[in-house]
Amino acid sequence: MDSSTRSPPHPTIQFPLNLGCATAENINVNDKGKVVMDEMDFFSAKKERGRDGGTESTSRDLYTTGTSSISDFNVNTELLLLNSANGGGDQLIHGGASSNSDRKLNSEVGVLKTELERMNSENQRLKEMLTQATNNYNGLQMHIQTIMQEQQKGVGEEGKNFLGNGVSMHRQFVDLGMPGAAASANANDVSSSEGPSDDGLMASNEAGGGREGNQSPQTKFPSLNSHCTDNGVDQATEATIRKARVSVRARCEGPMITDGCQWRKYGQKIAKGNPCPRAYYRCTMAAGCPVRKQVQRCAEDRSILITTYEGNHNHPLPPTAMAMASTTSSAARMLLSGSMPSADGLINSSVLARTLLPCSTNMATISTSAPFPTVTLDLTQSPNPLQLPRPSNQIPIPFPPPPATAAAALLPQLLGQALNNQSKFSGLQMSHEMDQNRLQNQFNNDTTSSNSLQPNDPSFVAALAAAITSFIGGSYSNNNNNNNNNNNNNGNDLNGSSFYVNR
DNA sequence: CGCTTTTGACCCGCGC
DNA sequence: GCGCGGGTCAAAAGCG
């Protein structure tokens, strides 16, 4: 694409990230005007010593031992100690320690050695604790999935599941042994690097080489019908979650809203009933990521862009992308949990809307009557979708940024939280709650220390306000991480959107 | 040259 | 069984 036509980086939610190395020395502005962080040089000390030509052997021995693997970090204490005596190592080795100073030095070395051994053992103990915690987490997750499966069975016995597409649900749940199992494991491996996360739960059910649901697993894997492993349940649930969708309606003049992810267009269709083409995108931030989205303009109002997300990422995400990812995950899980069933398949939005935004109504709709259960966020109906409960005048944000980008980035996060709260009632969100809280804390960072934000809670609203304020104040300088997401997300200046903050 | 976009063809589910 | 519509594939074209 023509880089000259690119719009300036879009503001996104700012996530103050202090890695302890953000000094004036390692923040540079590259030739494209972007602020970049220098890589931390953990070996600078080594270089220094190497240049000095001094005790290079000491540092080399230490570093080469320690950099083979982070997890297997072992300090060669013996070598270090032998050489650490400021040139006196030879004396220690060759028995030259006959003086009092040498004996004193020797005892100090012994103390240090003991201290290092103690720290090593402590490190080992911490690693064991981490392993145990991970195991506990996995066990809980398995337990949750089992409960979900039982609940699904219970619903199925009633002859019809809440999604209203029992046949396809059955098919999806039988998709337990799709060849994507290996890919799923890999996907989980990827996500596990960031700790417990929902991201890894959404393994691709298309990794088995095909379109989901196209081929009956009963014909492909007849033996899978009779028994289901826990792992299989996970995959089946993930496959089902992938069917759930989150739709965002926002006023946007550009081709897409910015959501922090990288997308690649793979198709375009003229859908019935809408002269505007529907574009199909898939996430390209990681190979095999199952997340897709559809982008289509509203037929009635061409300024409204409808973005529908499907699936969950199987890779680490930038913070702004996490917002969307958590939304889709939460929405899918809520729909799966059946916590808000409705006889006619259309769920009233009031509960969700009230939970989502106390001051706004009728902007969130959940529909299970569609081919796929869909949560729709309408950012266009209310002129104040993010109206905050402050008794003051409403003013539009006095900045030229694309407001709907912020709204689109914020609301999924809120929706995710709201949906999560809804889902709590079904008791199915234990692990996800952890993720949500983690995300929420990250989302709010130093603006709040809440461990369990509630959308109805004033603290939540305050946190939201802080986030928006943060977004407004520092958005332009914090968008580089997320707007390397190629050209797809560029040019979408959402000037026509209605996004206001009361002050 | 590699990546992305375009676009016609193809596959599949669903309703009649 | 047939046609329609949604979704995806993949070759060709475009672009930097």
The tokens of A291 are what? Answer: 């997340």
Measured at the CA of A235, the angle between CA A130 and CA A166, to 5 degrees, comes to 140
Whole-number distance in Å between A40 CA and B16 C1': 66
Residue A248's pLDDT is 84
**What is the rounded CA–CA span in Å between residue A21 and residue A32?**
22
Taking residues A51-77, report their average pLDDT. Answer: 37
* CB-contacted nucleotides of strand C (7 Å): 4-10, 15-16
- pLDDT at residue A257 in the model: 80
Q: Considering only residues A322 and A54, tell me which one the structure prediction assigns the higher pLDDT.
A: A322
What pLDDT sits at residue A363? 59
Question: Comparing C-alpha atoms, which of A206, A210, A188, A295 is closest to residue A242?
Answer: A206
Label residue A466 left, alpha or beta by phi (over 0 means left) and psi (-120 to 50 means alpha). Answer: alpha
User: Which of A's residues 158-197 have CB atoms within 7 A of nucleic strand B?
Assistant: 165, 167-168
What is the CA A266 to C1' C15 distance in angstroms?
17
Instruction: Name A35's Cβ contacts closer than 8 Å, sequence gap at least 6.
Output: A27, A28, A29, A477, A480
The Cα A133–Cα A409 span in angstroms is 32
DSSP states of A393-423: -EEE-SS-S-HHHHHHHHHHHHHHHHHHHHH
Spatial neighbors of A380 by CB under 8 A, at least 6 apart, are A249, A250, A251, A301, A304, A497, A498
- With CA of A1 and C1' of each nucleotide, the nearest comes out as C15
Supply the pLDDT for residue A280: 92
C-alpha–C-alpha distance, residues A81 and A109, integer Å: 7
Q: Which residue has the tokens 């990827």?
A: A190
Report whether A306 contacts A249 (CB < 8 A). yes
Q: Is the CB of A6 under 7 A from strand B?
A: no
What's the CA A1/C1' C14 distance, rounded, in angstroms? 9
Q: How far is the CA of A435 from the C1' of C7 (A)?
A: 32
Mean pLDDT of A11-17: 31
Nearest nt to the CA of A215 via C1' is B12
Q: Identify protein residues whose C-beta is within 7 angstroms of any atom in strand C.
A: A 1-3, 206, 211, 266-267, 269, 271-273, 278, 280, 292, 294, 371-372
A103-130 pLDDT, tens digit per residue, is 888 888 888 988 888 888 888 888 777 7
> CA of A415 vs C1' of B4, distance in Å?
32
Mean pLDDT of A54-82: 37
Q: What percent of chain A has pLDDT over 70?
A: 24
Q: How many whole angstroms separate alpha carbon A335 and alpha carbon A332? A: 5
Report the protein residue whose CA lies nearest the C1' of nucleotide B14. A371
> Average pLDDT in the A257-282 region?
87
For A443-485, the DSSP string reads HHGGG---SS--TTSHHHHHHHHHHHHHHHHHSGGG-TTTTTS
A317 with A293: CB under 8 angstroms?
no
Supply the pLDDT for residue A337.
59
A1-CA/C13-C1' distance, Å: 14
| Residue with token string 């983690």 | A438
A118 touches strand B (CB under 7 A): no
Average pLDDT, chain A: 51
Chain A residues 276-305, Cβ below 7 A from strand B: 279, 284
Q: Which residue is nearest to nucleotide C6 (CA to C1')?
A: A271
Question: Closest nucleotide to A168's CA, by C1' atom?
Answer: B13
pLDDT exceeds 80 at position A204: no
**pLDDT at position A329 over 70:** no
Protein residue closest via CA to C1' of C4: A272
The pLDDT value given to residue A136: 67
Q: How far apart are CA A154 and CA A149, in angstroms?
A: 9
Q: Which amino acid is residue A346, in one-letter code? A: L
Q: What percent of chain A has pLDDT over 90?
A: 2
Closest among A222, A219, A229 to A149, alpha carbons compared: A229
Q: Is the CB of A481 under 7 A from strand B?
A: no
A267 CB contact with strand B at below 7 Å: yes
Most distant CA atoms of chain A, gap in Å: 95
- In this structure, is the dihedral angle defined by the CA atoms of residues A473, A477, A481 and A487, taken in order, positive or negative? positive
Q: How far is CA A251 from the centre of its chain?
A: 25
CB within 7 A of strand B (chain A, 205-234): 211, 213-216
State, as a whole number of angstroms, the distance between the CA of A3 and the C1' of B3. 15
Q: In 3D, which of A280, A199, A279, A288 has the Cα closest to residue A241?
A: A199
Vertex A461, ends A458 and A467: CA angle to 5°?
140
The pLDDT of residue A281 is: 92
Mean pLDDT along residues A435-450: 38
Q: How many C-beta atoms lie closer than 10 Å to residue A231's C-beta?
A: 16
Highest mean pLDDT among A18-27, A59-68, A187-196, A321-330: A321-330
What's the CA–C1' distance between A418 and B15, in Å? 37
By the 8 A CB rule, do A443 and A15 touch? yes
Q: Which of A172-186, A274-288, A341-355, A474-488 has the highest mean pLDDT?
A: A274-288
Q: Say how far A125 CA is from C16 C1', in Å.
A: 53
Residue with tokens 């996907």: A187
On whether the pTM is more than 0.85, the answer is no
Q: Smallest CA–C1' separation from A265: which nucleotide?
A: B5
Distance A44 CA to C7 C1' (A): 53
Å between CA of A215 and C1' of B11:
11
Is the pLDDT confidence value at A255 over 60?
A: yes
Asked if the Cβ of residue A486 lies within 7 A of any atom of strand B, the reply is: yes
Q: Which nucleotide is nearest to A488 (CA to C1')?
A: B4
CA distance A461 to A459: 5
